[in-house]
Amino acid sequence: MKKFLMIYASVFSFIWIGTGIYAIITNQPSHYGVLLFGLAFSFTIFLTSWFSNWLIKHYKKIDTMTKNLSIKK
């Protein structure tokens, strides 16, 4: 799951940052805004991918602890 999320995030980040760089090269209106949006989008999608992976790991750990407690009773 982590590999899929990182590939997904990388593809969309590449698209948005590439669009921003293209806008700067071709001197389109709001070119810096497009690049900044692409960078912010990339940061956000990588952060959410990391957070979802972290959350799933902790859910698994808590689930294992709960099973151990219920077996001991």
| pLDDT, tens digit (0-9, with 9 covering 90-100), for 28-46 | 999 999 999 999 999 999 9
Crossing angle for the helix pair 31-72 and 2-25, nearest 10 degrees? 170
Q: What is the pTM of this model?
A: 0.71
Looking at residue 73, what is its pLDDT? 59
Residue 28's domain spans which residues? 2-72
Number of H helices, E strands in the chain: 2, 0
Domain count, the chain: 1
pLDDT per residue as tens digits for the range 8-24: 888 989 999 999 999 99
Mean residue pLDDT of the chain comes to 87
CA distance 39 to 16: 8
Label residue 1 by pLDDT band (50, 70, 90). low
Please tell me the predicted confidence (pLDDT) of residue 55: 87
